[in-house]
Structure 1
């Protein structure tokens, strides 16, 4: 099941204890169970927890990495928010 989150809701999940969500290209990924497996180390994931990590992700990864882990880690998408 895929849920919809606001950026504020994602920001609340900014630690491993809170679920450690990150945003990549509008999709929300739950990373708490992956931090110890991450080849780049847990530190970088913890640094971007609760935030949009698209820029950092694409700097070091290709589309194949996203396709590989999406089924396991994606929990939803970011809801469009009204801009004032």
Structure 2
């Protein structure tokens, strides 16, 4: 079973030493991918600790997530109560 993260927990990982992003319901550690990202490090650093779903799907196809996702995925987003 994969680890579950809240949005608040993901938000704590936005520094240069650890960067997490959310895509759909997955949580991805992109720390080691920053220098390899074809679009540059700037966008990953700007989205670190946030839900990057909208931006990701705007510029990437499903094949990109299929290729890199399994290596970078560290868990899922925990369902939170909607008040």
TM-score band, normalised by the shorter chain? over 0.9
Return the alpha-carbon distance in structure 1 between the equivalents of residues 76 and 70 of structure 2: 13
Report how far residue 4 of structure 1 moved.
Answer: 0.2
Unmatched runs of 5 consecutive residues or more in structure 1: none
In the other structure, the counterpart of 1:66 is: 65
Q: Distance in 2 between matches of 1:69 and 1:20?
A: 15
Q: What's the RMSD between the two structures over aligned residues? A: 0.9
Given the two structures, how large is their TM-score scaled by the length of structure 1?
A: 0.95
1:71 is paired with a residue whose SS is: helix
Q: Distance in 1 between matches of 2:10 and 2:2?
A: 14
Segments of 4+ moved more than 6 angstroms: none
Q: Which residue is 2:15 aligned to?
A: 15
List per-residue Cα deviations over 1:29-53 (Å, max 9, x = no partner): 0000000000000000000000000
Residues paired across the two proteins, number: 83
